[in-house]
Structure 1
Amino acid sequence: METGPLGTTVDRSPPAVDRPPLVGRAAELARLSAVSAPALLLVAGEAGVGKSRLVSEFRDRPDAREGHWLVGECLPLREPFPLGPVLDALKGIDVFTPPVGRVDRVDVFPRIRAGLAELGPAVLVVEDLHWADEATYEFLRFLCRGLPPKLRVVVTYRPESVRMERPVVDLAGYLPRWARAVETTVRPLRAREVGELAARLLGLTKVTDEFAIRLHELTGGVPFVVEEVARALPAEPAPRLADAPRSVLDRLTAPVALRGSIAERLATLPPAVREVVGAAAVLAAPADEELLGRVAGLDAETATDAIDRALAHGLLRQGGPGMLATRHALATRAVIDLLAPGDLRRAHRNAAAALAGADPVPHARLARHCRHAGLVEDWVRHAEAAATRAIALGDGDTAVDLLADVVAAAGVEIDVRARVASLLSRAAQPGLRHGEAVSALRAVLAEDDLPPRRRGEIRFGLGMLLIAQSGEASAGRGELRAAVPELPDRPDLAARAMAALAIPSDSSGTITEHLAWATRALDLLGSFDDHAVHTAVHVNHASVLLYSGDPAGWPVWRAALARGTTPEARLHLLRGASNGADAALWLGHDARARELLELIPTLVDEDPALYTVRLLDGARLRLDLAAGRWDGLAERVANVRAGAGAHRLPQLDVEARLVAAELALATGSLADAEVDLRTVAETGASLQIPLMTAAAAARARIALSGGRADEALALLTPALDAVRRQGNWVWAAAVVPLTCAALASLGERVRASHAQAEFAEAVAGRDAPLADAAVRLAAGHVARKASTGVDEFGAAAALFDAMGRPYAACQAREETAAVHLGSGDKQAMLDVVAVYTALGARWDAARCAQVLRKHGVAPRHRGGRRGYGDALSPREEAVARMAARGSTNKEIAEALFISVRTVEDHVANALRKCGVRTRADLPWDFPRSS
């Protein structure tokens, strides 16, 4: 701040809005605020830890605003202007005129102190005192000896950069007895605080613990580095970044500001210090002095002196008793970036030589050093050894990191790359690093001189990755079909390929073809003896039976469960349990799905990095949606989508998005539902048929509620045709009843009856409660107002009750209530409104309430209306979202079952509460109301 001639206070700092949020500094801030004048406040901390930010926050506190704030900054100049920071702080103050030419300490120092005393209450801030010129430092000593009674002096500095001949804390020794000296050390943030800061910088409510911990490892808890990382994150939607510990954070380079800060410190130190810091960065793990010295190429005495200096300047840290490392992971990357290529290569060679004699041999570390040192044969040897060890420990992602670069390296012989590619394909299947593996496998398959005996193995591995993880199921199935004839000498892999082709993972093929592949895989089991592969084949046989609603599916699954006795076989059981839970939900066996989800932790340790365990999150969301457990569901969906985006799991993202859409539709966020449903529909042929039918059903419900039966039929027909082509009719449970409803609404009851009959015949004898309920619902729509329709709707509702699906049961009862309403019985519809309201299904409750109003009945509202103050109510929010996206008042009224006048009121309220003037300025992406 500056003080003008009339004593007005002018703030010369950047606007507060540009400042990063202050996190984890409550104790330090309270300590500073508690000190009254006269006082010396010493604020210490390493570079970037937030000293200036803390002082800035201190300045803005009500108890510190009185009087003048005078701020000067010491700069790292080779020949700084004497007393420059102090003179800069005093600019604009009439009580002192800066001298021209040389600074006469005897004349100037007393005049400045007298001027400060005349100001009254004041705070003099000198930033970065470790860079101060001699005159500035001498003036502060002089000032402290006679500190004016209404002055507080605040000094920030880096302890590691202070010269030993003039330690900053000595200033406290010059204070008179009536003045106070307080030292505050600003520490790095803890992992939890790093997570809080990152969330606020990214505009999120919170980030996952995994993200916070990894970000803390990368940044060492230094706020400046956290802020730089937040700025450097790719331009993806923030929720996708909130759960990105490896796929996003590990790909970041060191921010340029961090590299500059480290370069500035290294430039002032002897070459030996740069060598040991570079050695620590190359090793990338805590090391003792002897190892650092060997990698740096220094003798013991020189290395010890250099290490001491590096520690004193904050370039190294103690990573444990006698162990040394760089400050944090991003500092390691910054130092690597600053090393010359020749120096980097030499340091890696030294590291490889130093670690070669260790026991046990650190293969993973040696692989990295040999690679960067250009020792290709040693790199491949150590990478294979480390990857084999990682696979044995269940860490496939680490194995992928080690092997993918070998497979993709043009300088490695093709026979070697082919051998490593086979290992890579096995390593990648249970993990999440499939993108790197897929790219490497495709590259090696394109080689003309690839050994034939390896081609089938590699193609099999690629197909398994594509079909399971990469959202390329059709391409994966193509690779597996091509691999089968290429594996004459590997019946175990051929059986695995056939078993994988048995799973209906996309809309291609028919259920008959899938069952045929399962049979072919079973027939191969007698030609080899591999317990894990036998388990995998039986698991997939059970899975295809379950997906088709075959009553034999569950007995076959129980038999397969008894087979898994080895760790590898139990991984296949984990996948089978995932398939079983997925199939059970589409069949309507919700209790069985829940049992399978509870079984999974007993099969293997539930490692959150496992691909299959991640996919189970989608089944859990669908189970909660069906069971009416909607409290906090939107937040859980957002977290799952964050993980799916971060780890590139498109199928999981689609599944979670569908749950979000169906929840948004039920709770009244129609605009959000339509956006998500369109996105799901645009996924195309790679979309699994159950997801396709569910998305089509939700979109058709919206159309039918608006009286657009022809539009609903157009949405449902492609999904129904896909089911008809595949032949697995249990997956049509979502679309057949709505198809019958649309046809009946259009007066085509004969077509509706044929559709219901075709479905009923196709699912007869299937073990699929959801299909049974759909048969009854479809029959109810065909009969509609007849007493038969009431009975069919009632039977469907009872089936949904048995499944534990209250929302679906209420939808069936709504159809019954609509029939009763036509004959004058209004209580059934009132009961339906009450159930919808209790569930939180605001859209459905509003629709039924509108029907009741047309019959002269106003549903009773239980309890008083919640006050939302300046926040948008759920209904105002729904209206605002649709208005922001361009919907007219009439369109909004029809979609939300309210009057146009009510829409106008809600739009007006939303404009006022959001502080905008036009509908186009309304936000459409604000958090949804709970």
Structure 2
Amino acid sequence: MNRRTSEVEQQAGVSHVARIGTPRFVGREAELTQVVRALFASSALVLVEGEAGIGKSRLVRETLAALRTHTAGAADPGAAPVTEPLVALCPPFREPLTLGPIVDAARQRRSDVSGLRLSALAGTLRPLFPEWGDALPPAPEPLSDPGAARHRLIRALAELLDRLGVRVLVVEDVHWADEATMDFLLFLATRPTQRISLLLTYRAEDLPADSLLPRLSASARQVADSSGGQGNVRVTLGGLEPPEVAQLVSSMLDDELVSPAFAELLHSRTEGVPLALEESVRLLHARSDLVRRDGEWIRRTLDEIDVPPSIRDAVTDRVGRLGAEAQQMLLAAAVLVDAEAEPVLAQVSGLTPDEVGPALREAVLSGLIDEDEAGRIAFRHALAARAVYRRAAGPDRRAAHRRAAATLEDKRPVPVARLAYHYRAANEMTQWRRYAEQAADLALAAGDHPTAVSLLHELLAEGGLPASDVARIAQKFPLLSVTGYLRRADVVSTLRSVLDDERIQQADRGRIREQLGRMLIHLGEHAGGVEQLQRAIPDLADSPSDLARAMATLGGRIGIGSLPAAELRRWIDRAASVAESRLPEAERRILLIDRITALLDLGDPAGWDLAAGFPTEQTSSQGTLDLARLAMNTGDAAMQWGHYQDARRRLAIAGDLSRRHRHQRLRDMTLVTIAHLDWFTGAWSGLADRARHWVRLDDEPVMQLDSRLVLGLLGAAAGDDPTAEDAVRSVRDDAARRGIAEMSMESTGALARLRLAAGDVQEALSLTDDAVEVVMGKEMWLWATETVPVRVAALIAAERLSEAEDLVSAFAGGFDDRAIPSTRAALETCRALLAQGRDEHAEAAAAWDVAAAAWQALPRPYSALLAREQKSFCLVKAGEGEAALSQWTEVAQGLAVLGAKKDAERVAGTIQEHGGKKPGRRRAGRRGYGNHLSPREQEVVELLLSGLTNREIAIALSRSPKTVAAQLNSAMRKHGVSTRTALAVLVTQTRFGAMADSAQD
């Protein structure tokens, strides 16, 4: 293209621009003031949102300049001065090194840590900062739990930032941040003390669906509200308006005027996105399409040449106008991604020493790359870097990646994550495997198990590994981290394919099978997991830890196979024997929890004795999380046994510990179990909404099934969900397929009750055939609670009374008067059903009374009310019609208050059939209970007696602390006391007095 001005243009007063400059900061003054003012205050969280090229990074640069040149008093008198911020950048590719952006930023801030007076906790940082090995404390004991390991690492890194004096942390492009980095930011934002202000930039459209950013924002606001801090400042950047477009373009053209028509055209083509504006102006300049006429800049021919529709087109066109050497230099910068010094860039470019200088100057003059204060060179915009990278030919890209890898290998510490990235892109698979495994090892050591899983899975799935490497890589998978992360089905599929490799040695095959089996169980595939464990045990003789774990896991899978409880108990004892003789304390503690859980699942009270002896004083993060896991497992067992108050206490402990130590999956499991407990105890208010939340939880089949069951049961009782029975049936089918025995039994019993109530006796019998056979064959009478009563009712309805009597006799004999309240209530229900089936009306009414009292003592009010309903039928047949009507009226009102609308309407209809008056609707709220405690107040008082604080009670009941405090105040008012202690003493004395009166009677 002719770059000289024509004579015609000169005569018309037209001239071309001689040079083009960097645009000034335009149109964001209000946002800058808002951000700077927030950061001058203490403990602020500033979120800057906007699409690519909208100016987020420019706003950050201007903010940093303002923080450096202004005093705190200039923005907010009396506020603390702001020190030099620490700036981290999240790369556009997944950084396999845990907390990579923060680590790189800290490394740039300081070359060593001597003199920082770091605590022993800082030894955790050794894998992240190997170059500081001489100055860091010794590495602490490794933790097997990913949540504990990550939390310890996060605390150590936070301490490092505190010692470095960081008061403002800037993290750009958090939509690319790894999960560990987001966890770290969440930790910083919610610390009650030593808060660091955060300035985060991100693209909302690129945020992962499960991003922690919304949670971080909400948590920071809660902390700010409670402490009086600054709280959240959210800035959303949009496109510039036409007048601002004119200002920006003018700033690039020596502040000369820009024609309104030109500004309007640029705005319409770029929507005011600053990067698109800048690139378009530079392209116009390169094409000589930008001219000055009569004192203002215009397009030469507005109708002929169109502004490029995308930044990529603009960058591609600009790069194409550069020399081949400059293009090669730009490709080197795009391949490196991170900012690097000139010598590194020169080596990666592949240019000769004579070519480097001119090529670099031309590339810098293009405006695409820039040099920072440390002399490092990088693209000014990530979009431009990607455009350059994509336009390059494949062989050229691979060659540049090979040169990048060769250059970076000389760095210390060795950047294994970047080397893995470059060798993979260069298709150098042997070297990629070497560095990918090293990166996975670093991630494991630092507690970043999701990243480790991703790398290890990629190594196995890629193929080509030597036989000796296959087993080693497979055994590195951190089991617990697979649950809740990544595409777990893909990981399982990959491990299965590894087992098909005939090169794997027998011992290695056993270890891989053991790990695969436990992984399948965590995924809710119990049957498949048990099969793998059984096949693994013969190959694990030389691995006591793996052998004990496999045995303990098998002993707890009581729902799979035909082994009776006694045989399963032997598996558990064998695992304990191996653990006690050969394993270190930490592993014995984990296996002890497995043994306690298995024993309680078997209905063996020895599990409670072992749980009582578990050491509660734990000083390490791993030990504390072991306590949380024990509390969760025993809380679930206590719920199955019918120790509902104890279950709430244990689950409250589990929820609190898992929350404080950020073990999200354990906390989710605890909350789902509390929701199920709420179904049993009649705490149905708001329960459906909570269950729906957990139903939507992706990749957690056990939690989803549990929540679907609760939803189905609630819908069936209320009668307002026509799909409720189908939901219960689907849970039953899915649980049976997966081998999740407890859930299969409960859903089977619930479905059989629904079919029996609908008059379908045969299906009720068919549904319970296999379930009761399993209960009796395995001697698992704990499962009889949900299945045997409905089976007895169906047998009586089918006029098979003798079979029902035999079943109840076997139930009573197998139960052997164990201290399992839920099973005791179920047995009393069966006895009442038999008396009713024999037409022994008075005896049946008394038996139903006993059953109702047993259910209410748990408390399980729904079952108690249904038992009292049956008692009334027996009273009518015994000639006590008035007592029956009175009882039915109370039952109907109780069911209505509970939320069992369908059942309440059925009982109301029964009352009318027997000549009674349909009961009126009972008022909700305090007035309905008078001076007696409401069910919700009673729950709060029960947990108070267990020694829980208001906060722990709130967690256990899924209520707010304010609601719990209000309900305790109401309970104190009704009892005429003014303190929690007085309330506890009065309730306890009242109960002892009632027990004494009962004993005298």
What letter corresponds to residue 838 of structure 1 in structure 2?
A: V
Q: Which moved more, 1:288-297 or 1:511-520?
A: 288-297
The residue number in structure 2 matching 1:844 is 903
Match of 1:653 among 704, 708, 712: 704
Return the alpha-carbon distance in structure 1 between the equivalents of residues 386 and 559 of structure 2.
Answer: 42
Native 8 Å contact 2:530 2:557 kept in 1: no
Shift of 1:405: 1.9
Native 8 Å contact 2:658 2:666 kept in 1: no
The residue number in structure 1 matching 2:77 is none
The residue number in structure 2 matching 1:250 is none
Match of 2:499 among 434, 445, 449: 445
What letter corresponds to residue 275 of structure 2 in structure 1?
A: E
Native 8 Å contact 1:628 1:807 kept in 2: yes
Match of 1:663 among 706, 714, 719: 714
The DSSP-based 3-state class of the residue aligned with 2:751 is helix
Change (3 A) 1:844 1:383: same
Q: Which moved more, 1:648-657 or 1:815-824?
A: 815-824
State the Cα deviation string for residues 325-375 of structure 1 (Å, max 9, x = none). Answer: 7978x9999987766432442343344345434444433333333333334
Does residue 617 of structure 2 align to residue 552 of structure 1? no
Match of 1:793 among 843, 848, 869: 848
**What does 1:312-391 align with in structure 2 at a 5 Å threshold?**
340-391=393-444
Return the alpha-carbon distance in structure 1 between the equivalents of residues 365 and 844 of structure 2.
Answer: 87
Does residue 338 of structure 2 align to residue 264 of structure 1? no
The residue number in structure 1 matching 2:988 is none
Does residue 724 of structure 2 align to residue 673 of structure 1? yes
Shift of 1:460: 1.7
**What does 1:193-204 align with in structure 2 at a 5 Å threshold?**
none
The residue number in structure 1 matching 2:863 is 808
Native 8 Å contact 1:499 1:536 kept in 2: no
Shift of 1:771: 0.5
Shift of 1:288: 7.9
Change (3 A) 1:399 1:764: same
Shift of 1:304: 7.5
The DSSP-based 3-state class of the residue aligned with 1:826 is helix
Native 8 Å contact 2:342 2:376 kept in 1: yes
Return the alpha-carbon distance in structure 2 between the equivalents of residues 427 and 352 of structure 1.
Answer: 33
**What does 1:357-436 align with in structure 2 at a 5 Å threshold?**
357-424=410-477, 428=481, 432-433=485-486, 434-436=488-490
Match of 1:496 among 549, 553, 563: 549
The residue number in structure 2 matching 1:157 is 272
Does residue 526 of structure 2 align to residue 473 of structure 1? yes
Does residue 914 of structure 2 align to residue 835 of structure 1? no
The residue number in structure 2 matching 1:861 is 921
Shift of 1:497: 1.2
State the Cα deviation string for residues 34-74 of structure 1 (Å, max 9, x = none). Answer: xxxxxxxxxx9967989xxxxxxxxxxxxxxxxxxxxxxxx
Native 8 Å contact 2:53 2:381 kept in 1: no
The DSSP-based 3-state class of the residue aligned with 2:695 is helix
Return the alpha-carbon distance in structure 1 between the equivalents of residues 271 and 551 of structure 2.
Answer: 69
State the Cα deviation string for residues 217-276 of structure 1 (Å, max 9, x = none). Answer: xxxxxxxxxxxxxxxxxxxxxxxxxxxxxxxxxxxxxxxxxx995643433221579878
The residue number in structure 1 matching 2:805 is 753
Return the alpha-carbon distance in structure 1 between the equivalents of residues 660 and 687 of structure 2.
Answer: 22
Does residue 814 of structure 2 align to residue 762 of structure 1? yes
Does residue 592 of structure 2 align to residue 538 of structure 1? yes
State the Cα deviation string for residues 740-793 of structure 1 (Å, max 9, x = none). Answer: 222333333333232222222222233321111111112222223623333333
Return the alpha-carbon distance in structure 2 between the equivalents of residues 685 and 144 of structure 1.
Answer: 68
Identity of aligned residues (%): 31
State the superposition RMSD in angstroms. 4.6
Return the alpha-carbon distance in structure 1 between the equivalents of residues 536 and 567 of structure 2.
Answer: 17
Shift of 1:622: 0.8
Return the alpha-carbon distance in structure 2 between the equivalents of residues 564 and 551 of structure 1.
Answer: 25
How many pairs are equivalent?
644
Shift of 1:730: 0.7
Change (3 A) 1:143 1:562: closer
Return the alpha-carbon distance in structure 2 between the equivalents of residues 290 and 551 of structure 1.
Answer: 71
State the Cα deviation string for residues 255-314 of structure 1 (Å, max 9, x = none). Answer: xxxx995643433221579878866775566778887776566857755875786769xx
TM-score normalised to the size of structure 1? 0.61
Question: Tell me, which stretches of 5 or more residues in structure 2 are unaligned?
Answer: 1-29, 32-48, 56-240, 247-257, 297-307, 925-1001
Return the alpha-carbon distance in structure 2 between the equivalents of residues 532 and 787 of structure 1.
Answer: 59
What letter corresponds to residue 688 of structure 2 in structure 1?
A: A
Return the alpha-carbon distance in structure 1 between the equivalents of residues 52 and 767 of structure 2.
Answer: 60
Change (3 A) 1:862 1:795: closer
Change (3 A) 1:830 1:500: same
Change (3 A) 1:452 1:748: closer
TM-score normalised to the size of structure 2? 0.57
Native 8 Å contact 2:832 2:844 kept in 1: yes
Native 8 Å contact 2:54 2:273 kept in 1: no
Shift of 1:575: 4.2
Change (3 A) 1:530 1:815: same
The residue number in structure 1 matching 2:749 is 697
What letter corresponds to residue 902 of structure 2 in structure 1?
A: W
Change (3 A) 1:322 1:285: closer
Change (3 A) 1:662 1:761: same
Return the alpha-carbon distance in structure 2 between the equivalents of residues 381 and 558 of structure 1.
Answer: 47
The DSSP-based 3-state class of the residue aligned with 1:465 is helix
Change (3 A) 1:798 1:427: closer
The residue number in structure 1 matching 2:205 is none
State the Cα deviation string for residues 883-927 of structure 1 (Å, max 9, x = none). Answer: xxxxxxxxxxxxxxxxxxxxxxxxxxxxxxxxxxxxxxxxxxxxx
Native 8 Å contact 2:479 2:519 kept in 1: no
Shift of 1:851: 2.1
Return the alpha-carbon distance in structure 2 between the equivalents of residues 334 and 809 of structure 1.
Answer: 70
What letter corresponds to residue 813 of structure 1 in structure 2?
A: R
The residue number in structure 1 matching 2:785 is 733
Shift of 1:510: 2.9
State the Cα deviation string for residues 383-419 of structure 1 (Å, max 9, x = none). Answer: 3333233223333222111112222333221112222
What letter corresponds to residue 392 of structure 1 in structure 2?
A: A
Native 8 Å contact 2:695 2:704 kept in 1: yes
The residue number in structure 2 matching 1:188 is none
Change (3 A) 1:292 1:540: same
What letter corresponds to residue 441 of structure 2 in structure 1?
A: T
Return the alpha-carbon distance in structure 2 between the equivalents of residues 808 and 545 of structure 1.
Answer: 27
What letter corresponds to residue 410 of structure 1 in structure 2?
A: G
Asked which structure has the greater RCO (Cα within 8 Å, sep 6+), the reply is 2
Return the alpha-carbon distance in structure 1 between the equivalents of residues 309 and 371 of structure 2.
Answer: 19
Q: Which moved more, 1:344-353 or 1:685-694?
A: 344-353
Return the alpha-carbon distance in structure 1 between the equivalents of residues 679 and 375 of structure 2.
Answer: 52
State the Cα deviation string for residues 653-705 of structure 1 (Å, max 9, x = none). Answer: 22222122112212223422122122122223423222112112221222222
Change (3 A) 1:280 1:438: farther
State the Cα deviation string for residues 698-722 of structure 1 (Å, max 9, x = none). Answer: 2122222223333322222222222
Return the alpha-carbon distance in structure 2 between the equivalents of residues 342 and 412 of structure 1.
Answer: 25
What letter corresponds to residue 738 of structure 2 in structure 1?
A: S
Native 8 Å contact 1:363 1:383 kept in 2: yes
Change (3 A) 1:687 1:492: closer
Native 8 Å contact 1:355 1:362 kept in 2: yes
Change (3 A) 1:693 1:805: same
Native 8 Å contact 2:416 2:439 kept in 1: yes
Change (3 A) 1:277 1:710: farther
State the Cα deviation string for residues 818-856 of structure 1 (Å, max 9, x = none). Answer: 444662432222222222222222222222223233234
